[in-house]
Amino acid sequence: MTLLLAGDIGGTKTILRLVQQPEIGEMQTLYEERYISRNYPDLVPIVRQFLATAVKKTGKDTTPEKACFAIAGPVVNNAVKLTNLAWILDSQRLEQELKIAPISLINDFAAVSYGVLGLKEEDLHTLQAGKPQPSAPVAVIGAGTGLGQGFLIKKEKEFDVFASEGGHADFAPRSELEFLLLKYLLDKHDIQRVSVERVVSGQGIIAIYQFLRDREYATETPEIAEIVSTWEKQAGTEKSVDPAAVISTAALAGSDRLCEQTMQMFVEAYGAEAGNLALKLLPYNGLYIAGGIAPKILPLLQEGSFLRAFTSKGRMRSILEDVPVHIVLNPQVGLIGAALYAARL
């Protein structure tokens, strides 16, 4: 029986999970807790507090033998400076201060990619059954704060995970309206190119809404207008509102024409980019739609425009119709991935 510590470390919150790995069978969660990251100067005091509380809650020795932390930021040589938090983490220092070895740090989307291997049937919603091939690659794409992309290649009985910066590839407009969106973003931000992440992400939802609003596609609802205006005034500071969530909620309710068209464009752009990733990898072992947005807008993804954009690749349509497409419903997929990676250390 092996004790593992898994963590999902972000600028806003830190989630830790103590996992028991039996020699045979599934991992079992012994204790889990979340913390507000900015309330602590570093990860070490959080882990110490977590393990001390875990002993009291479980009545057992909860000293983990190895650990893996998924970090919101680029990990180089097991070290990282968090993107939205003044923490600098290094696995060697963490091992010394926490008396846990080995400790590994991996990118948060790499953890999501490992995590899809540990999902159960109830953690997924299948958009397209396709024709699964167990030896083929697995692709993962996830829109949230940004747009993560990665893939897995089978190596004997296990998978190797590979990171990608595909979210920073060029946005490829497919219609007159999307070409106008591209020009709008170029002019608005005075930039030379637009990445797909500027459109397919939480910030992308807001950008599409602003574009349609400024083109006077429809009249703004006063309540939503106020939230978007507040967000715009807070440029460069910590945001107190989340227009993307408000826009998507209004679209789901069918209560705001501007929001409905915003999400229609977002869903189609998301489907098109997922199709681009699938063309490059041919992931007949599954393409997984992860990230924080997808499960929240599941009805919009189910209505058909996502898959139409996904498969609308000319002569390649039949190839993409064979790719299994799954929506990840479990928000803890990153923690699952961190635990699976820790088990391999």
Q: DSSP string of 189-219?
A: HT-S--BGGGTSSHHHHHHHHHHHHHTTSSP
Buried/exposed 38-76: b ≥16 CB within 10 Å, e otherwise: eebebbbebbeebbeebeeeeeeebebebbbbbbbbebe
Alpha carbon of 28 to those of 16, 129, 337: distances in Å? Answer: 14, 30, 14
Q: What is the topology classification, in CATH, of domain 2-119+330-344? A: Nucleotidyltransferase; domain 5 (3.30.420)
The H or E element spanning position 111 is: helix 108-115
Band (72; pLDDT cuts 50, 70, 90)? confident
Grouping H, G, I as helix, E, B as strand and the rest as coil, residue 56 is helix
User: By the 8 A CB rule, do 208 and 258 touch?
Assistant: no
Residue with tokens 């204790």: 31
- CA 160 to centroid of chain Cα atoms: 19
Does residue 153 register a pLDDT over 70?
yes
Three-class secondary structure of residue 313 per DSSP: coil
| Per-residue tokens: 122 | 């109830």
How far is Cα 13 from Cα 37, in angstroms, rounded to an integer? 5
CATH architecture of the domain with residue range 167-328: 3-Layer(aba) Sandwich (3.40)
pLDDT digits (tens, 9 = 90+) for 185-206: 999 999 999 999 999 999 999 9
Q: How sure is the predictor about 245, in pLDDT bands with cuts at 50, 70 and 90? A: very high
- Report d(CA 156, CA 61) in Å as an integer: 35
Residue spans per domain, the chain: 2-119+330-344, 167-328
Nearest residue to 337 via CA among 159, 202, 197: 159
Under 8 Å between Cβ of 101 and 78: no
Dihedral sign (CA 187, 189, 192, 198): negative
Average pLDDT in the chain:
93
Which is nearest to 136 in space by CA: 282, 242, 247?
A: 282
* Listed range (136-150, 225-239, 330-344) with the worst mean pLDDT: 225-239
- Looking at residue 84, what DSSP letter applies? T
Distance CA 34, CA 50 (A): 9
What is residue 256's DSSP assignment?
Answer: -
Instruction: Specify the range with the lowest mean pLDDT, choosing from 84-98, 205-219, 308-322.
Output: 84-98
193: tokens are 């190119």
Half-sphere exposure (Cβ direction) of 92: Cα atoms closer than 13 Å: 3
Three-class DSSP category at 140:
strand
Instruction: Read off the tokens for 302.
Output: 């189910």
Q: How confident is the model at residue 58 (pLDDT cuts 50, 70, 90)?
A: confident
DSSP state at residue 168: G
Residue corresponding to tokens 């159960």:
120
Helix, strand, coil shares, percent, the chain, to 5: 45, 25, 30
Confidence tier at 158 by pLDDT (50, 70, 90): confident
The helix-helix angle for 176-189 and 202-214 (nearest 10°) equals: 100
Of the candidates 69, 161, 153, 80, the residue with the CA atom closest to the CA atom of residue 108: 69
Mean pLDDT over 142-171 rounds to 91
